[in-house]
Structure 1
Amino acid sequence: MPSAVLTRQFRRLWQPRKGLAIAEASVIGLVAAFSAVFLKVGSGALGAWRVHVSHLLPVWVALPLLGLAGGYLAGLLVERLAPEASGSGIPHVKATLANIPMKLSWRVAGIKLISAMIVIGAGMTLGRQGPTVQVGAGLAAGMSRLVPTSPDHRRQMVAAGAGAGLAAAFNAPLAGVLFIVEELLQDLSGMTLGTAIIASFIGGVVSRMLGGGNLLLNPQLTQYANSTITDIPVYLILGVLAGLLAALFNRGLLASIKLYRLLHLSLSLRVALAGLVSGIIVAILPDSFRDNTGLREFVIAGSVNVSVVAIAFLAQFILTLIAFGSGAPGGLFAPSLILGSCLGYLVGSLQSHFLGIGSPTTCALAGMGAFFSGVSKVPITAIVIVFEMTTDFNLVLPLMICSVTSYLVADKLLPGSLYDRILQLNGIDIQKQSSMEGVLTKLTAKSVMQPRVESLDAQMTVEEAVQAFARSHHRGFPVVDNGKLVGIIAQSDLLKVREKNLEIDTPLREVMTPKPVTVTLTHNLSNVLYLLDRYQISRLPVVEGRRLIGIITRADIIRAEADHLNCENPDKGPQPEPSYVVYQTRSPSIGRGRLLVPVANPDTAGILLDMAMAIARERHYEVECIQVILVSRHSSPTETPVNTTKSRRLLKQAETLGRKFQISVHTQIRVTHDVSQAILETIKERHIDLILMGWKGNTSTPGRIFGNVVDTVVRQASCDVVLVKFGKIKENYPNFNHWLIPMAGGPNAWAAIKLLPALMTLSKDPQIRLARVFHPSETTPDMSILEQAVKLLIRSRKIESPIMSIPIKAESVSEGVISLVNTVGYDVVVLGASREGMLQQAIKGNIPEAIASGVESTVILVRGSN
């Protein structure tokens, strides 16, 4: 069978099919049911223990302390392990289903489950239905990653998981399906509806079988639920009141979120504060207010005084605002039902007292649906939830009148979904960001481009350009002259050489395409795509002024769109806060590039800055000098006071050198949790071309070659990296006269060669030796690479001293270099790369560390950006 046929059959086998979707939806329903029951049992047990403790200890002590401790523990879990698990969780799920990249995973689901259990058990007036929606969606998202599926299939499974979570929490399968259609996905396609029905019904039924049915009301409480045509005006009044108060409730929730943010507290402290205040308030109230579920049924039963119900409504209203605004993991469904039942009971009691007709119980049940509808803006789901909880057809008419009226009034006063408004507070606008056009408008060239790009010099010959194409997989290169973009050359341009019978030593500028189309950092992807299509090209240089700082291709845009559709987030796990700039100076931006120098050691800072100035003079670069101050991860970089006196003293030294050599010097001091992160952020923000760092020459960190900071920078920096381990310092300065450059032809070796003309200015009488290490078994070593390097240095016309090439016979590179340096006494060893690249060699054999440890000379390690 041909391989192409086999490939097509394999792809068809792994494509999402109906059978796979149905099986996946069934498993999702089961898992959602188990998680909902676990949350119900766990929070119930913690709540019962809290009530028991409040009877053993003074209530003024027990409830506030338990609320404080539970809130802090839950907030800490969320803050450290899954920040996405804060709040209700429904806005997060809704954004994910709108194709906005937000994290949903098993880890998020697990932390949400545990933290919500602690928060509810600690006595905060939040519900467990919102969390189960996110838990079900998170479990479904994690499961959908186990097999190769399309983004649409993944969205369907996430929606099915959310519906199953709601159905399992309420034991209301129809409500789970309708909530998906009405609020989350707004999708009525066959596959979406089918998987949602399967997952929701399995979740609801299994949850009821496992004992998760405490939301089902006692039939004895609803047996007198009836209504007549004379009750319709009362239901309309109830609906209007529910809509007014629901709109006020939603505004209060948004104001509470904003108020907590003004406090500038961490999540754990905010939730702890909410738990403390909630405990104090509940301690003032009667004992019945310590059990939220019992309170709801107590109200519906009709055996409670009207004044108590009024107090219950006011207390629940305030306590929910306090708890929800803190970001505590809990939902609004249960509080909405309690508030609605209290409001309905009050209206029904007034009707019965003044008119002598009506049933407070019926109004209480209708009020549950009305308030729920006004808060969540899902009238159909509200009707079905209360109906499934009571299974009483007599309630359908009151529920419809109250729920629809409440929805219309609430939406008139506060248009739009509460969950959308919460997302907007977090800087997310679903309407703008959910469509692909929104994505293309939002993303800019800066966020998608490849920040470092291999370029060719305009002075190169056609022969050298052909060799560059042969060594690279790229089909085109930007052409620069003195750091400024002057053209672009593609493989097709090289055909001009043959067509025009040009010589191989023809300058590149004669065959390149001059004045190429470019974009800036602020161009959005819509503009980029237009230019690519308009000029029928596959890549666009990204420039700042005329300085080349990156390139963007069609593949980069496709990758960004795919990441968006798959809702991928590159940040996994808890991340340290970004570094914070506490001090900076700026000079005119007149250079062709930028060189970054992190200074930390005052003993070597002067020498390092001299090297930086030498490179900057030769390349016409600006110098960016940075000092990093490390603070504890338990404190925020933006809020930690630091002393910058010593740091500024080092930076002043750089500014003095800049004025001496007429080089633009920029300085900054950053406060951070991670030094390497601060350096990488600076490289990205300031578009750094080369970073020059000091290196002690060895590390005691297990699994590291150069050390934590340097290893991270070498691996992740998008620019050229130069590491310097200084040798013996005589008269406050190391010797830079005798230079040894081992070479084997890798790309980093050529980066080292290009660096030599600048470094030679530090030497009074430079003597350069290029060396190649070969095995003793090689009788005639290949010296062609050294010859090419010598020609390149001579052609630069910047090195006047003699350059020699020598072979080294040794069993290994490190042994040969160490032996030669110790025998001859070279002052500086510049390490480029082997054929595999220096970093790969370093990982395999620790060559730089071995050489640096084995010699007392200065060692310079060069890692190119390509």
Structure 2
Amino acid sequence: MQSDNLRRFKSVLYGLLIGLAVGMVVSLFRVSIEGLSDQFLKLAKLARTNLFVLIMLIILNLLIAFFVYYLVKRDKNIKGSGIPQVEGQLNGELDYSWFSVLSKKFIGGVLAISSGLFLGREGPSIQLGAATAQGLADTFKQTKQARKTIISGGAAAGLSAAFNAPIASTLFVLEEIYHNFSTSVWLTSLSAAISANFVSTAVFGKVPVLHMSYSHVIPLHIYPYLIGLGIVIGIGGLIYEYATLHVNDWYAKLDWVPNIVWVLIPFILVIPFEMYLPTIVGGGSTMVLTIAKAAPTITVLLWFLLIRFVMSILSYSTGLPGGIFLPMLSLGALIGAIYSEVLIQLGVLPQSYFVNFIIISMSGFFACVGKAPFTAILLITEMVGSLQNLMSLAFVTLVAYEVTDLLGGSPIYNEMLQKMLSPQKLSTSGQLTNLYFSVQLGSDMDGKAVKSINWPDGCLISSIKRNEQYIIPDGGTILKAGDNIEISTNYDNRGYVYTHVEKLTLDN
């Protein structure tokens, strides 16, 4: 008992150390983006009346595009959001140099996001946090399992420092990446997230990232309209996910066009928006706060939605460092704003609930695309800084999630990871490595004996952790929901085994 208590205490201490380091790295990342973004917007404003400045801005954007594209070519692991890479690393499917990712992701992310591309800072912040934690784990020569726990803490700390949302950041690691509530993982992640949030709060202040002023709670007689909102969000999320995952496949059909062209296009297209619609560029938080203060017309909101949808897809398709977390929230906010304005014009919804619909729609959209409803609910609650919308927010989130689920939607980050990995094949080479899974209620493993499960070739179930007790399994051992199982396989076989076993452990 004492050794377990000491182990948990060490998890908290490790988390606090990780959070401080990650908090400083991600806070510097945020400060750099905000400072450089301001300079780009000032240049764009001058470019309205000065042809020389406009030419200089175009050249500068093209130079940044070529340079960041070069960085991605040097290390493909800094590509895009970074969340799929972190998932792959913790799942045992990927591994990479922490210093290369940390340095190149930081520089590339600052340049790509600051230039006005419709990308968010949160995905890169998660990978920067994970890379920083990986560096600490390697420096202190931690075991493989401890290393994964520390990296998880770094990922949670990165998201917490990006959004000032420590509880949701911890849940994101557990719900999106691990699909279970391992004690060591959540203790390390929570303490790291709180510590990182302390640092970012000291730098950026206590005001929530998406703080909005409103005074009413949605009454029960409005809830039938929330069902329609959830359906619209669910369908919209499915369309967004499909476009994001397949845009590069569409590009590939035009194989005569060099890849760099697809990178340059959004860098050029973003310049007019920076010049004449500066609030709409970037991740989208400025736009969300702007429309919450003064509701535009439905026509303007529809244009905003079209522009942000197209530019978000084009920006992410470049493969340059930048996330879709905040862009997803901004699309959800626009859908909620349009839906509520229609109801207001029809006379069935008071104007005072306009902001409420923006808030709850952000949660619904993220939940149906990321397939992480609990994270979505807590994330928006922390980002807005109020519990008043919790019931209506959870209601719409559930409806949107189920609509997308029934229509065949998949977790977007997992789909991105599978696209990144080469086709998985059985391999018998490499040193032994361990993979960890959690058996979910209703999965193909739940309630079945080890010998009756269709295990992939080339793996061995080593142990089962049940209620803090370890079991050495044999063929007759019955697996139960909540069991954490450890599987051994060859290092080069880890991707093949993980892909197959994960399907067996997840709820169907």
Q: CA 1:115–1:215 in structure 2 vs 1: closer, same or farther (change >3 Å)?
A: farther
Q: Distance in 1 between matches of 2:96 and 2:291?
A: 40
Q: CA 1:311–1:320 in structure 2 vs 1: closer, same or farther (change >3 Å)?
A: same
Equivalent residue, structure 1, for 2:223: 232
Q: Distance in 2 between matches of 1:230 and 1:317?
A: 32
Q: CA 1:313–1:267 in structure 2 vs 1: closer, same or farther (change >3 Å)?
A: same
Deviations 1:209-239 (A, max 9, x none): 2116675234xx3323421011111211111
Alpha-carbon shift at residue 43 of structure 1 (Å): 1.0
Which runs of 5 or more structure 2 residues have no equivalent in the other structure?
A: 432-455, 460-486, 496-508
Alpha-carbon shift at residue 19 of structure 1 (Å): 4.9
Alpha-carbon shift at residue 419 of structure 1 (Å): 1.5
1:417 paired with 2:411, answer yes
Equivalent residue, structure 1, for 2:234: 243
Q: CA 1:215–1:29 in structure 2 vs 1: closer, same or farther (change >3 Å)?
A: same
Equivalent residue, structure 1, for 2:400: 406
Q: CA 1:262–1:34 in structure 2 vs 1: closer, same or farther (change >3 Å)?
A: farther
CA contact (8 A) 2:120 2:327 kept: yes
1:413-452 matched pairs, under 5 angstroms:
413-427=407-421, 442-444=426-428
1:40 paired with 2:30, answer yes
Q: Distance in 1 between matches of 2:416 and 2:488?
A: 29
Deviations 1:729-757 (A, max 9, x none): xxxxxxxxxxxxxxxxxxxxxxxxxxxxx
CA contact (8 A) 1:37 1:210 kept: yes
Q: CA 1:102–1:413 in structure 2 vs 1: closer, same or farther (change >3 Å)?
A: farther
Q: Which amino acid aligns with 1:443?
A: S
Alpha-carbon shift at residue 427 of structure 1 (Å): 3.5
Q: Which amino acid aligns with 1:402?
A: V
Equivalent residue, structure 2, for 1:324: 316
Q: Secondary structure at the match of 2:490?
A: helix
CA contact (8 A) 1:347 1:360 kept: no
Q: Distance in 2 between matches of 1:112 and 1:18?
A: 32
Equivalent residue, structure 1, for 2:140: 147
CA contact (8 A) 1:79 1:267 kept: no
- Give the root-mean-square deviation of aligned CA atoms: 2.9
Q: Which amino acid aligns with 1:311?
A: W
Q: Which amino acid aligns with 1:374?
A: C
Q: Distance in 1 between matches of 2:253 and 2:28?
A: 35
Q: Distance in 1 between matches of 2:84 and 2:409?
A: 16
Q: CA 1:65–1:247 in structure 2 vs 1: closer, same or farther (change >3 Å)?
A: farther
Alpha-carbon shift at residue 136 of structure 1 (Å): 0.6
Q: 1:385 aligns with which of 379, 382, 386?
A: 379
Q: CA 1:63–1:339 in structure 2 vs 1: closer, same or farther (change >3 Å)?
A: farther
1:561 paired with 2:490, answer yes
Alpha-carbon shift at residue 205 of structure 1 (Å): 2.3
Q: Distance in 1 between matches of 2:308 and 2:194?
A: 31
Q: CA 1:409–1:47 in structure 2 vs 1: closer, same or farther (change >3 Å)?
A: same
CA contact (8 A) 1:68 1:275 kept: yes
Q: Distance in 2 between matches of 1:25 and 1:364?
A: 34
Equivalent residue, structure 1, for 2:300: 308
Q: 2:391 aligns with which of 387, 397, 405?
A: 397
1:525-564 matched pairs, under 5 angstroms:
526=458, 561=490
CA contact (8 A) 2:119 2:322 kept: yes
Equivalent residue, structure 2, for 1:92: 85
Equivalent residue, structure 1, for 2:201: 208
Q: Distance in 1 between matches of 2:259 and 2:124?
A: 17
Deviations 1:353-400 (A, max 9, x none): 213434111101111111111221111111111111222222101210
Q: Secondary structure at the match of 1:393?
A: coil
Q: CA 1:61–1:368 in structure 2 vs 1: closer, same or farther (change >3 Å)?
A: farther
Q: Distance in 1 between matches of 2:302 and 2:163?
A: 26
Alpha-carbon shift at residue 268 of structure 1 (Å): 5.8
Q: Secondary structure at the match of 1:394?
A: coil
1:417-816 matched pairs, under 5 angstroms:
417-427=411-421, 442-444=426-428, 526=458, 561=490
Q: Secondary structure at the match of 1:210?
A: helix
Q: CA 1:66–1:310 in structure 2 vs 1: closer, same or farther (change >3 Å)?
A: farther
Q: 1:76 aligns with which of 70, 73, 81?
A: 70
Equivalent residue, structure 1, for 2:268: 276
CA contact (8 A) 2:68 2:111 kept: yes
1:50 paired with 2:40, answer yes
Equivalent residue, structure 2, for 1:362: 356
CA contact (8 A) 2:83 2:126 kept: yes
Alpha-carbon shift at residue 27 of structure 1 (Å): 1.7
Q: Distance in 1 between matches of 2:216 and 2:68?
A: 40
Alpha-carbon shift at residue 149 of structure 1 (Å): 2.5
Q: 2:289 aligns with which of 297, 300, 304?
A: 297
Q: Distance in 1 between matches of 2:252 and 2:333?
A: 31
Q: CA 1:293–1:27 in structure 2 vs 1: closer, same or farther (change >3 Å)?
A: same
Q: Which amino acid aligns with 1:111?
A: K
Deviations 1:64-93 (A, max 9, x none): 44433322222222322x221011111111
Alpha-carbon shift at residue 191 of structure 1 (Å): 1.0
Higher fraction of helix: 2
Equivalent residue, structure 2, for 1:705: none
Equivalent residue, structure 2, for 1:258: 249
Q: Which amino acid aligns with 1:315?
A: I
Deviations 1:477-510 (A, max 9, x none): xxxxxxxxxxxxxxxxxxxxxxxxxxxxxxxxxx
Q: CA 1:302–1:365 in structure 2 vs 1: closer, same or farther (change >3 Å)?
A: farther
Q: Distance in 2 between matches of 1:425 and 1:301?
A: 40
Q: Distance in 2 between matches of 1:23 and 1:255?
A: 43
Alpha-carbon shift at residue 423 of structure 1 (Å): 2.1
Q: CA 1:259–1:183 in structure 2 vs 1: closer, same or farther (change >3 Å)?
A: same
CA contact (8 A) 1:289 1:312 kept: yes
Q: Which amino acid aligns with 1:442?
A: L
Alpha-carbon shift at residue 17 of structure 1 (Å): 4.4
Q: CA 1:253–1:213 in structure 2 vs 1: closer, same or farther (change >3 Å)?
A: farther
Work out the number of aligned pairs and report it: 433
Q: Distance in 1 between matches of 2:42 and 2:338?
A: 31
When Rg is computed on C-alpha atoms for both structures, the one with the higher figure is 1
Q: 1:113 aligns with which of 81, 106, 110?
A: 106
Q: Secondary structure at the match of 1:442?
A: coil
CA contact (8 A) 2:161 2:196 kept: yes
Q: Distance in 2 between matches of 1:368 and 1:173?
A: 18
Q: CA 1:44–1:192 in structure 2 vs 1: closer, same or farther (change >3 Å)?
A: same
Deviations 1:518-562 (A, max 9, x none): xxxxxx9749xxxxxxxxxxxxxxxxxxxxxxxxxxxxxx99836
Q: Distance in 1 between matches of 2:243 and 2:362?
A: 19
Q: Distance in 1 between matches of 2:206 and 2:109?
A: 18
Q: TM-score, normalised by structure 1?
A: 0.47
Alpha-carbon shift at residue 300 of structure 1 (Å): 1.6
Identity %: 24
Alpha-carbon shift at residue 152 of structure 1 (Å): 1.5
Q: CA 1:174–1:227 in structure 2 vs 1: closer, same or farther (change >3 Å)?
A: same
